[in-house]
Structure formats: structure tokens, C-alpha cells
Structure 1
Amino acid sequence: MSPSRTVHIVVDLGFGDAGKGTMTDWLVRRHGAGLVVRFNGGAQAGHNVVTDDGRHHTFSQFGAGTFVPGVRTHLARPTILHPLAMLVEARYLAERGAPDALARTTVSEGARIITPFHQASGRLRELARGSGRHGTCGVGVGETVRDALAHPDDAVHAGDLARPAVLVRKAAAAQERLRSELSEELRAARPHPQAAPELAMLEDPDVPSRWADAVQALRPRERIVGDDWLAPRLSEGTTVFEGAQGVLLDEWRGFHPHTTWSTCTFDLALELLRDAAFDGAVHRLGVVRAYATRHGEGPFPTEEPALAPAVPEPHNDAAGWQGDFRVGGFDAVLARYALAACGGVDALALTHLDRLAARWPVCTSYRAPPGNDGGTLVRDAADTSRVTALRLGPHRDLAYQERLTHALATCQPVREELDLGEQPAGRPERFISWVESTLCVRVAVTSHGPAARDKRERGLTPPTATR
């Protein structure tokens, strides 16, 4: 009998950090998946997995199922590859018991490549903004996408990694082009203490050839595949499509300009499945925390710094380019907006339920001053200061998204507290019932800790295999 052909697509319904990594790891183990497909974003991902035996890794480019022996990773065409960062991550994984992670990885020849010059340019652009930061992870994903859209014929793709002469030529052209295009930003950023190494990267003429030599350690002729590679693998059994970032950071549906240069909904995964003529079962799983989080800049209505001591964050901090890790009460308004933005889900995965307290902060509506919000806010007819939802605007209309961002900045959450009871054992079910009734979506998986053994299934699908 041929194995069941099933795809699980994992998407974050928040600003990221909801638990896509731990959920991907659990799905791989629970359903015997042999392949994890990364279908959006790139090296800015940070998907934390803790194994039952205590090993931890923050997955950036490798699929979060890599700790399971034999499970492969495929970086599909929409992803953005950072070759040197992948080599570094492979070494970390080897130290944690996955020495063959790179050998189990393939990359679409059409995936765009981050050069050192795109990373440096993205950092310098953010430094030049000063107090008007947009928010960045500092690895060059946004700058790579922007440059590829502006200069498609000169974009560096994974297929170029196997052609050293072409790679050097394109990298050198990118260095020169970016240095010229960002001349004003370079002047503005130059006094900043963090600017010096990034400026040196753009000015050193030897970097393109040194970088091209270094990335050959990826063994690109073995690693890079055509887009027709994926379709037959999807017929081999269960596959997990692992999303990056979160729907509230989506390039078209997020709160512009505090967004990522990537589509974070199910769209890209579904497009890949259509291209592969996949006709098996597809399950869309939306992941959300029991409380709201945001790492870095941008609007965050329910932010509540006083909640932070009760929800310690062992794997996210304020170090690096992203900035502060912020927490707040569960925001049903943003959750409903995310559900609408991604076209709905088949079920929810609700994480961090071990953090619940007897009195738990939530929000189901906002207060906003009267005024012209550009039609972005859904207001109560009887009380126009009460905002019940965010209106989904035209797709790919960044002007609308910017108006929505400004309107959201005027909103104040109507804070409520759920009485979840004094006994910790009973709190998760009470909270799950509230989430299901508030969002009108079934919670199919719950997570009560960082490891796979801490997950509970509530009718997702029957397992196809045991691993």
C-alpha cells in the first residue's frame, strides 16, 4: 500500500515567535513526515526546538524537523538563502547531534541569495533611520528582495552558486550597485558606532571573490535542484510546510512599514502545491500563543510590560538587531484579523499554555477616538468609540496598510481578565474553550511546554506512521 499523501502547513497568526518550530518538530514526529519544506522568508527565522532529551536549537534555515534522523529540508523557490549562515548553522546542529543536516538539505535553484553586501546595506539603511526604525533582523532578507525586484537580471540565485565566475561577477556588481544607491543612507549611518564593519564590507573590493570561494563549502552542485524536484517527494508520504515570521508581519497584510519582505500567509505554500499538481490532503494549521508577543518595532495594542516576569522568555531577548522582546495580553482583535488575512485555517495550535495564571489578560475590542480612520476600523454602531475588528483592505495596497497602522496606533485595548481558576490543571481547558468560542475556530493541538512530549492532540488527523 502506498503511503498517505498529506501536507500540513504551519503558519504563525501573530508577529512571529508563536511556536512554529516546536509545532513542526511535533508534526514530523507524530505523523512520520520525511520532508520539511521552508516556503517563505529566509535566514531571519528563529524557530526554537527543544528535544525530549534536552537538546535545544534555534532553527534559522534548516527545517525544524532536522533533529529527527533522516528527515530532509527543502528550501523552495520563494525562500531567501544566506549561504554562509547555513554553513554556520550546520556546524551548530552537528554539535547537537545532527551531523548530516546539510547532506539532508536541498535548495531550489530559483531561491534568492543574500550576499554580504545585502546584509550590510540592510543594516546601514536601518541605522540611517535613527528613531524612525522599521524593525529588522539584520541578516539582509529585505534588502535582497528589494534589490532583486529592482534589478531582476542581476539578482543572485541559488543556481549561481554552482557557477563561481558568474557568482563573483554578480556579487561584485551588487557591491558596487548598493554602495552607489545607498550613498545618502551611508552618509547618515556613518557616525553610528555599529556602522564601521558594514561600511567596510561595501568598500572592500576583495570580498566578492572571498565570499564566492567560501560558499563552495555548501557543495552547490549536490545541493541545488530544479523546481521539478518537489512534486515526486510530496507523493512519498507526509510533508510539513514550515512558515516563517507571522501573518501580522506579512508584506501585504501586516502593519506597514513594520513588516517583512515576505508573504507569511498560506499563499506561497498553496501555490507550490498547485505547481506540483498535489492532490492529497492539505491541513492548514494556525499557531498562536496564549498571550501576545512582538520582537522589535511596530504597533502592539495589548503590550503589558508588567506581564513579562510571569512569562520568562529563555530563547528571545533584546540582543541583536531586532530589539526588545515585548509581551502583552491575548489579542482576539488581531487574531481575527490574521485569520481573515490568511483566508482562515483548518484548526489552531495553541502554545505556551503552561504559562496561564488564575487571572489571565485578554482583549476582544479596542477604544479609539472619533475621527477619520480611513475606513480601516470596524466600529460598534451604538458606540463608535468601540472598535470590534480591523477591516481587511484591498490586497497589495500598502497605502491602505499604512492607514491601518496609523489607526491601530490610536487604539487602546479594552482589557479583560479571564477567571481560569486557582487549580493550574484546569486552566488550559477553560482558556481553550474561551479561544474557540471567541475566534470560532477549533483548537486541534495544544502545547504545555517546549518539547514534543508536551503537546496534546485534540483531533488533528490520525497518524500516518510512528517515528
Structure 2
Amino acid sequence: MANVTVIGAQWGDEGKGKLVDWLSNRADVVVRFQGGHNAGHTLVVEGKTYKLSLLPSGVVQGKLSVIGNGVVVDPWHLLSEIEKIGGQGVAITPDLLVLADNACLILPLHRDLDQAREAAAANKIGTTGRGIGPAYEDKVGRRAIRVADLADRSALEAKIDRLLAHHTPLRRGLGLPDVDAGALLAELETLAPQILPFARPAWLLLDEIVKSGKRVLFEGAQGALLDVDHGTYPYVTSSNTVAGQAAAGSGIGPRGAGYVLGIVKAYTTRVGEGPFPTELFDAVGQRLGERGHEFGTVTGRARRCGWFDAALVRQSVALNGISGIALTKLDVLDGFETLKVCVGYKVGGETLSYFPAGLKAQASLEPVYEELDGWSETTAGARDTRDLPANAIKYVRRIEELIGAPVALLSTSPERDDTILMRDPFQD
């Protein structure tokens, strides 16, 4: 039986939390492999809502959960989230949660820098201001503080000095006060006893788990179109969000990713700035947002809404090696007389079947639409394809044709069990 890697195949917010929670029943271990606490997953389990932004979704199921080395970790937020979920009856212990000892930390100075840059920028990226980008900058700049450093005071002191040698000029240029190295050291030493019990070589644990024949579910954050290499740059996140990162961000090796399940919303949304060819500014867009409850889990920001973009998802299928998709929020389209699907773009008299990399071309894209008949019946809560209207099934089949990937799962409400299994990713 295969491992499964779950990634968002659009701009994030596709409903990964519910699907990962649903798939956790079939997995033994759940792994987060990139991003930080800028990503939010909302789980609805037996009427109780859990909002996670750093903890893997598997904790709610009581499954062994791993925060991999590809994640940048705000240790204060992690402790806060552990406490919050504990208050909902889920005790997070080192037997349940493993934190990669080579993961890099997000510090208050990263948050300061993130927020100051965004406030000063003429062309804003639309970050969450939580320090994710600056933390990744320090990681690739080889000056980051990692989880394992919390156990070594001498290493911690030296790394803080090196880190501040870089950050002090940046802070002064932005009008921020200098960081007190002694105070930062004291803060890290205070939280170390609370963090270190969770720290282990995650790669070694996962190697043992895979060799034992257990099944691993890799949980991505954000979406493939926000990938720092392959997304709508520079309006992207600061990490690789594509499926290939599951290997690098967990240490499991490239063959370990298994079946790649792309989560795809039945329409399209985006949070923050950046190009969005099918965005709707009319009553239809408003209706999608209201019916889909399109507000960010972490930020509360209203999401921009538009028609399904098959050209973008087709590109995402290729970039991620997607084996099959989970199509979510089909019920939001109930009651539309007609639906539109973008099948390509026109730009400068030329027709493109893919999303171009150039900023000028991106800004001038005109979507080419195909119209499909909608349906008046409800799909909400359907758990079998026999419960779906004929036109809803036609819509699903046409999406499969346009993106070049089969639908493995259909989600018809936020509830975990309102899911139609068409192909089991763990069996393929």
C-alpha cells in the first residue's frame, strides 16, 4: 500500500484539512513538510471545530504526527497551539508529536522584519506578517537557529551573535530598535525545556516507519501555485509547496512520497495580492464567497473568488506529478444555471494553454471560457455518486478531461464523512 502526499493544487485554501483528517483514518503517521504557522487548516469532527496552523492534522485523530525539517517553527506559537488543542480535549505529548531536531526556528525578530517590510512596501506581497519569509531567508543564509541548538547554550550564543550581525543593520534601516541578545538568549533558554521533549531526528524515525510497512500521509500547506519556484512569483510563499518537497522537507527520500493527491476546489479562490485570471468582481463572485464561507483560517481575510481555472490546475498536475485529485466544495455550485471553466488564455493576440512566468503577460491574461450547464438540485452532504445530479457528474467528468487527472475523492460539505471515495489513494 502506498504512502500518500496531499498538496493544494491551486492557491491554497482548497480544504486540505478535512481531506487530511479523513485520510488519517487510513494512515499510521501524518507529516507536515513545509511552511509555517501562516497556513491554516480547519477540521470539523463530530460537530467540533479544530483550527490548526502548525500542528499536523493527524493529532486530532491521535495518529503519530511529525513536523518535518522543511517547516519553519515559531516555538511560542507551537506551545500556544498545543495548549489550545489540549483545551479541546486532545493531549499533545511527545508520544503523539515529533518535531524534527533540524527544523529552523521563527523568532520575534523575523516577525518584526516581515511586518515592517510589508508596511513599507509600495507593492505589497500580502504576507501574513508572521515571520515566515525572513526565517526561510536565514535558513538559506546559513545563520538560522535550529531546534537542536536549544540544547546547546554555547552554540546558541554564537548563533545569536551571527544572526544579529545580519539583522541589526536591516532593523536600523527600517527604524526598528536593536534586539537585546541577552534577552533573546534568556527567552530561548526558558522555552527549551518545553520544546526539546518533542525533538527527534525525524528522518530516522520515518525511515524506520517506512521499512516496517506502515503508511505515511504527507500534509502540504498553502498551494502549488504559491510555490516559490513554480508559483505566481513574486506573489508566492517562501517555501516549495509542490509534492517534491515532501521528500526534502521530511528526509524520507524521493520514492517515499507515494500517491500524490491534489486538493482542488470546484471553483477558484486566492488570498492576498497577485494575478488571478478568473477572478469575479460581480454578484457571482460575491455569491461564491458567501456560500463557500471564504475567509482565511489564520488571517480572517476575505478570499478573492472566481470560476474554475482548468489551465492552472492542469499545470499544477504536471508540476506535482498528481496521481488524482480531491474535488472540494462542489456543493457551493448548487443552484447556478450555468457554470464557466477557464480552458486557456489569450494574451497579445496569442492563445496559451498554460500560465506564463512573465509579470507583464500574467497581468494581461484574458481567460478563455467553456460554459457548462449547472444544476438546481443539492449536492450538499452527498456520500455516493448516485446522490449527485446528472449535471454535477458531467461537471466533474469535464474537469477530469481538462486537467488530465482523475477525481479520487469528492467533498460535499465541511463534515468529514460527507466525502465520496471514487479511488482509494492508499490502494493505488
TM-score using structure 1 length: 0.81
Structure-2 residue corresponding to 1:377: none
Structure-2 residue corresponding to 1:133: 124
State how far apart, in whole Å, the 2-side matches of 1:458 and 1:139 are: 38
Name the SS of the counterpart of 1:120 in structure 2: helix
Equivalent residues of 1:258, 1:297 under 8 A apart: yes
Partner of residue 140 from structure 2, selected from 146, 149, 160? 149
Equivalent residues of 1:283, 1:346 under 8 A apart: yes
Partner of residue 70 from structure 2, selected from 74, 78, 88? 78
- The more displaced of 172-181 and 244-253 is 172-181
Give the number of aligned pairs.
Answer: 412
Give the aligned residue type for 1:140: G
State how far apart, in whole Å, the 2-side matches of 1:155 and 1:292 are: 36
Equivalent residues of 1:351, 1:448 under 8 A apart: yes
Structure-2 residue corresponding to 1:104: 96
Equivalent residues of 2:40, 2:298 under 8 A apart: no
Give a deviation string over 1:383-426, Cα, whole Å, max 9, x none: x3x333235xxxxxxxxx4x2x3211101223443212222341
* Aligned-pair CA distance for 1:85: 0.6
Structure-2 residue corresponding to 1:444: 408
Distance 1:156 1:135, change over 3 A: same
Distance 1:221 1:126, change over 3 A: same
Give the aligned residue type for 1:303: E
Equivalent residues of 2:412, 2:419 under 8 A apart: yes
Distance 1:459 1:26, change over 3 A: same
* Aligned-pair CA distance for 1:363: 1.3
Structure-2 residue corresponding to 1:337: 315
Distance 1:285 1:216, change over 3 A: same
* Aligned-pair CA distance for 1:436: 0.9
Q: Does 1:414 align with 2:368?
A: yes
Structure-1 residue corresponding to 2:3: 7
State how far apart, in whole Å, the 2-side matches of 1:264 and 1:245 are: 7
Structure-1 residue corresponding to 2:267: 291
Q: Does 1:170 align with 2:170?
A: no
Give the aligned residue type for 1:300: F
State how far apart, in whole Å, the 1-side matches of 2:392 and 2:208 are: 41
Name the SS of the counterpart of 2:60 in structure 1: coil
Name the SS of the counterpart of 1:106 in structure 2: strand
Identity %: 28
Alignment of 1:56-455 (within 5 A): 56-69=49-62, 71-100=63-92, 103-130=95-122, 132-150=123-141, 152=142, 154-171=143-160, 173-184=162-173, 186-187=174-175, 199=176, 202-204=178-180, 207-225=183-201, 227-234=203-210, 235-271=212-248, 276=252, 282-305=258-281, 306=283, 307-312=285-290, 313-314=292-293, 316-317=295-296, 320=299, 324-342=302-320, 344-357=321-334, 358=336, 359-370=338-349, 384=350, 386-390=351-355, 401=357, 403=358, 405-424=359-378, 425-426=388-389, 427-455=391-419
State how far apart, in whole Å, the 2-side matches of 1:434 and 1:244 are: 27
Equivalent residues of 2:3, 2:426 under 8 A apart: no
State how far apart, in whole Å, the 1-side matches of 2:296 and 2:256 are: 40
Give the aligned residue type for 2:306: G
* Aligned-pair CA distance for 1:79: 1.6
Give the aligned residue type for 2:318: A
State how far apart, in whole Å, the 1-side matches of 2:150 and 2:83 are: 20
For structure 2, the 5+ residue unaligned runs are: 379-387
State how far apart, in whole Å, the 2-side matches of 1:271 and 1:416 are: 39
* Aligned-pair CA distance for 1:290: 0.4
State how far apart, in whole Å, the 1-side matches of 2:61 and 2:14 are: 21
State how far apart, in whole Å, the 1-side matches of 2:340 and 2:93 are: 41
Equivalent residues of 2:310, 2:343 under 8 A apart: yes
Name the SS of the counterpart of 1:417 in structure 2: strand
Give the aligned residue type for 1:114: I
Equivalent residues of 1:117, 1:175 under 8 A apart: no
Equivalent residues of 2:289, 2:303 under 8 A apart: no
Give the aligned residue type for 1:67: V
Structure-1 residue corresponding to 2:384: none
Equivalent residues of 2:29, 2:216 under 8 A apart: yes
Q: Does 1:48 align with 2:38?
A: no
Structure-1 residue corresponding to 2:385: none
Distance 1:78 1:45, change over 3 A: same
Distance 1:45 1:295, change over 3 A: same
Give the aligned residue type for 1:325: R
Equivalent residues of 1:117, 1:174 under 8 A apart: no
Give a deviation string over 1:168-198, Cα, whole Å, max 9, x none: 54335424531213443x04xxxxxxxxxxx
Equivalent residues of 2:6, 2:219 under 8 A apart: yes
Name the SS of the counterpart of 1:390 in structure 2: coil
State how far apart, in whole Å, the 1-side matches of 2:121 and 2:297 are: 19
* Aligned-pair CA distance for 1:24: 0.7
Equivalent residues of 1:250, 1:263 under 8 A apart: yes
Equivalent residues of 2:244, 2:254 under 8 A apart: no
* Aligned-pair CA distance for 1:352: 0.6
Give the aligned residue type for 1:16: G
State how far apart, in whole Å, the 2-side matches of 1:360 and 1:214 are: 56
TM-score using structure 2 length: 0.88
State how far apart, in whole Å, the 2-side matches of 1:304 and 1:136 are: 22
State how far apart, in whole Å, the 1-side matches of 2:14 and 2:198 are: 34
Distance 1:412 1:315, change over 3 A: closer
Distance 1:335 1:281, change over 3 A: closer
- The more displaced of 107-116 and 165-174 is 165-174
Alignment of 1:11-26 (within 5 A): 11-26=7-22
Equivalent residues of 1:295, 1:325 under 8 A apart: yes
Distance 1:314 1:87, change over 3 A: farther
* Aligned-pair CA distance for 1:204: 4.6
